[in-house]
Structure 1
Amino acid sequence: MSSQDSPRSRISRRQVIRGLLATGAFGATSKLWVGCTPANDSSTSSSSPAAGKELVMGFIYVGPKDDFGYNQAHFQGKEGVQGVKVVDQASVPETTEVQEAMRNMIEQDKATVLFPTSFGYFDPHILKLATDYPEVQFFHCGAMYDAAKHPKNVGSYFGYIDEAQYVAGVVAGHMSKTGKLGFVAAKPIPQVLRNINSFTLGARSVKPTITTQVIFTGDWSLPVKEAEATNSLIDQGADVITCHVDSPKVVIETAEKRGAFTSGYHANQAALAPKGYLTGAEWDWTKVYSDYVKMIQEGKTLMNGGIPHLLRGGYKDGFVKISAFGPAVSETAKKDAEAARDKMKAGSLVIYKGGLKDNTGKEVVPAGKDYATTAIELESMNWLVEGVVGKTA
């Protein structure tokens, strides 16, 4: 951080922006006058190889940067970006406060590219700001872009992390002695359901009778409910626990105390469970963000069609990976997991095969037609696969 960007001057400039906004749409909500603390703000810069104006990119997270989960994964991805100036802000709620954070980055930091990463930031917040700032590019993690109704300066990116979940499921299938897996999940949205289903299918490729019981907590960060759900699953016989919540920390630590195996998510949680951590499905956001930098520096934008509005990638694209195997993982489990991973990279392993049924007995993948990872049908998944104990509503 330069002397001109000291915490004192940063807060002062943000207060000036807020003063200007007070006469507009934000003036009516007193909650939006809460200041941005230096602890939640950072700025890094490196020399840009591109000629002309320096590219400034802004990142916004719904939780802390060191949550051992979703936000840490994005923060680590941001840290790997080179050749641009980067600003970020953590612990921003999925409310109009994120609109203020985005406006501040645009008006104060001169950001022209924003990555508001949390699911709830998209509608209405990103869509509102994209209309107000048509020259700024907004990239959201996980949303479904609709060209018929969404602004042209809005894009969506996501990784096929369910491929990594499938591989992690192979390990879980080998290591479970009870034949019961447990999954703590936030909300039954397509991205979460794909992870539950792929993890289960990976495990059932090893043991066809294995089951996964899922408990939905109702939101992305509810530590008490996450601990309760983990204990409940273990009490019901699950001996491998995984999750899809913002921070797996509570789930992993609770399971470790109970002597259960764990499979992580988002980032590496091995340090939290030295005995029971098997592996985990991780993102490589640095690859994604660096690809965006390259395209933008080449003059490509969402608006001119040079950057796709819907960007997706899996193992073969370098978007996802699994954590290093823990000490408890058997050699057979490692071998089978690595074989599945290699097939994913080669594009020869299909998770959702024709004739697949959900857990009510209904056929959800038509017989004779496989759904590759890239199939658009999977983006709107609203079912749980056979072998999952639980409901989507």
Structure 2
Amino acid sequence: MKFKKLVTVAALAVNVFLLPVTQAADDPLKVGFVYVGPVGDHGWSYEHDQGRIELEKHFDGKVSTTYVENVPEGADAERVITQLAKSGHDVIFTTSFGFMNPTIKVAKRFPKVHFENATGYKRAKNVGTYLLSTYQGRYVSGVAAGMETKSNVLGYIASFPIPEVIRDINAVYLGAKSVNPDVKMKIVWVSTWYDPGKEADAANALMDQGADIIIQHTDSPAPLIAAEKRGKMGVGQASDMSHFAPTAHMFSVRDHWGPYYIDTVQKIMDNTWKSEDYWGGFAEEILQIVSVNPVLSDAVKTAISETEAKIKSGEFHPFTGPMKDNQGNEVIPAGKTLTDEELASVMWYVEGIDAKIPQ
């Protein structure tokens, strides 16, 4: 009921405050953001909102922004996006995979508005897509976890069975396996991006199964806090989560969206924007390893920095063949590296993961 109430408040905020306006030539560019979670999730939506704030500061009065938080993926999302478009927004960023279809539908009705959807794959003349190469950070997480684990069991809290999540599970396992041939991984699916209660329960279930390091594809610090209480460790998701679990926190993989939002809006102002599929990672400093815990051994800290550097320089790519899935099928031939387009359609577990992808 609390979640539904938050959604209703967000929807009312749109209906009340986003009435259609007539924009003069000297008015600031209006930029709207749609968040799947609350800006206080301390993860995914929080970092998108930090990017929004950075955008406003950079353009110093030339840009005004609006955001709507706690928007469910589905019909409500279409209604919120439509309201933003009707109210004179020139650019709308929809920041979740489940907003992809609603964004495409609304964009057809508002061809003069620029739309950008995070983590989706459908584009149109006025719709671009953007995402992080999160698998890069996951691979580093796997390397560190594989070296640090004492039980040889890693726990992964997964949100939804979409390519982004499957790809990142594989990356963690590949990184861990590269330094620890005995490592195993347990996966718990929670069917949510943000629900601290479910996330904490999942973390505890994984620790009950022997996991001593928790990695998450959900947005609250609850898993890290659970690990702290039980003397285990984990990796922060999307933002710097070190202050929530100073002992358990190994490091965080931070999403730094500000530079992308600034560059995109500048292109729109310059009339040079075009629909494309953008992937940003370590090289673009959109993805960052932050707050490495000083209690980690020198060997682990060195492995973290060296692995990040090799991925950043292009010397190493986690999805380079030969590689088989966990059914024994070759999915990447020897010498081949998956393209971004191919990475966007990964729906198989790599060899060694003893699990099935939910349908």
TM-score (norm 1): 0.81
- Is the CA contact 1:226–1:251 (under 8 Å) kept in the aligned structure 2? yes
Instruction: State whether structure 2 residue 154 is matched by structure 1 residue 181.
Output: yes
- Is the CA contact 1:214–1:389 (under 8 Å) kept in the aligned structure 2? no
Q: 2:41 aligns with which of 56, 59, 67?
A: 67
Q: 2:97 aligns with which of 119, 128, 131?
A: 119
- Tell me, in whole angstroms, the C-alpha distance in 1 between the residues paired with 2:198 and 2:177: 28
- Is the CA contact 2:257–2:286 (under 8 Å) kept in the aligned structure 1? yes
- Say if 1:390 and 1:223 are closer, same or farther in 2 by CA, change over 3 A: farther
- Is the CA contact 1:276–1:328 (under 8 Å) kept in the aligned structure 2? no
Instruction: State whether structure 2 residue 358 is matched by structure 1 residue 390.
Output: no
Instruction: State whether structure 2 residue 332 is matched by structure 1 residue 371.
Output: no
Q: 1:256 aligns with which of 203, 208, 228?
A: 228
Match of 1:291 in 2: 263
Provide, for residues 222-245 of structure 1, a one-character-per-residue CA deviation record: whole Å limited to 9, x for no partner.
Answer: 443322221121111111001102
Instruction: State whether structure 2 residue 131 is matched by structure 1 residue 143.
Output: no
Q: 1:330 aligns with which of 278, 297, 316?
A: 297
- Tell me, in whole angstroms, the C-alpha distance in 2 between the residues paired with 1:209 and 1:64: 39
- Say if 1:71 and 1:34 are closer, same or farther in 2 by CA, change over 3 A: closer
- Is the CA contact 1:32–1:96 (under 8 Å) kept in the aligned structure 2? no
Name the SS for the 2:330 alignment partner. coil
Match of 1:274 in 2: 246
Give the C-alpha shift of residue 37 in structure 1: 7.6
Q: Which amino acid aligns with 2:94?
A: P
- Say if 1:209 and 1:363 are closer, same or farther in 2 by CA, change over 3 A: farther
Mean alpha-carbon deviation: is it higher for 321-330 or for 377-386? 321-330
Give the C-alpha shift of residue 326 in structure 1: 1.4
Structure with bigger gyration radius:
1
Q: Which amino acid aligns with 1:132?
A: R
Give the C-alpha shift of residue 113 in structure 1: 0.4
- Is the CA contact 1:171–1:329 (under 8 Å) kept in the aligned structure 2? no
Instruction: State whether structure 2 residue 346 is matched by structure 1 residue 381.
Output: yes
Name the SS for the 1:35 alignment partner. helix
Give the C-alpha shift of residue 33 in structure 1: 11
- Is the CA contact 1:215–1:390 (under 8 Å) kept in the aligned structure 2? no
- Say if 1:380 and 1:41 are closer, same or farther in 2 by CA, change over 3 A: farther
Identity of counterpart residues, as a percentage? 32
Give the C-alpha shift of residue 99 in structure 1: 2.7
- Tell me, in whole angstroms, the C-alpha distance in 2 between the residues paired with 1:231 and 1:129: 41
Match of 1:201 in 2: 174
- Is the CA contact 2:323–2:330 (under 8 Å) kept in the aligned structure 1? yes
Name the SS for the 1:354 alignment partner. coil
Instruction: State whether structure 2 residue 324 is matched by structure 1 residue 352.
Output: no
Give the C-alpha shift of residue 111 in structure 1: 0.9
1:36-115 pair list within 5 angstroms: 36=13, 54-81=28-55, 82-83=58-59, 84-108=63-87, 110-115=88-93
Give the C-alpha shift of residue 383 in structure 1: 0.9
Q: 1:339 aligns with which of 306, 309, 327?
A: 306
Q: Which amino acid aligns with 1:141?
A: A
TM-score (norm 2): 0.88
CA RMSD of aligned residues (A): 2.3
Provide, for residues 131-185 of structure 1, a one-character-per-residue CA deviation record: whole Å limited to 9, x for no partner.
Answer: 110100110001113xxxx531111001101101111222111211111100000
- Tell me, in whole angstroms, the C-alpha distance in 1 between the residues paired with 2:185 and 2:9: 42
- Say if 1:389 and 1:323 are closer, same or farther in 2 by CA, change over 3 A: farther
Unaligned runs of 5+ in 1: 1-30, 43-50, 302-306
Name the SS for the 1:62 alignment partner. coil
Q: Which amino acid aligns with 2:120?
A: A
Give the C-alpha shift of residue 205 in structure 1: 1.7
- Tell me, in whole angstroms, the C-alpha distance in 1 between the residues paired with 2:80 and 2:271: 26
Q: Which amino acid aligns with 1:101?
A: V
- Tell me, in whole angstroms, the C-alpha distance in 1 between the residues paired with 2:127 and 2:183: 41
- Is the CA contact 1:32–1:100 (under 8 Å) kept in the aligned structure 2? no
Match of 1:26 in 2: none
- Tell me, in whole angstroms, the C-alpha distance in 1 between the residues paired with 2:117 and 2:242: 28
- Tell me, in whole angstroms, the C-alpha distance in 1 between the residues paired with 2:283 and 2:265: 20
Give the C-alpha shift of residue 270 in structure 1: 0.9
- Say if 1:70 and 1:388 are closer, same or farther in 2 by CA, change over 3 A: same
Q: Which amino acid aligns with 2:306?
A: A
Match of 1:5 in 2: none
Match of 1:237 in 2: 210
- Tell me, in whole angstroms, the C-alpha distance in 2 between the residues paired with 1:257 and 1:184: 17
- Is the CA contact 1:77–1:287 (under 8 Å) kept in the aligned structure 2? yes
- Is the CA contact 1:275–1:327 (under 8 Å) kept in the aligned structure 2? no
- Tell me, in whole angstroms, the C-alpha distance in 1 between the residues paired with 2:153 and 2:294: 21
Q: Which amino acid aligns with 1:347?
A: G
- Tell me, in whole angstroms, the C-alpha distance in 1 between the residues paired with 2:37 and 2:317: 34
- Is the CA contact 2:153–2:185 (under 8 Å) kept in the aligned structure 1? yes
Provide, for residues 41-85 of structure 1, a one-character-per-residue CA deviation record: whole Å limited to 9, x for no partner.
Answer: 89xxxxxxxx95532111111211010111111111111112122
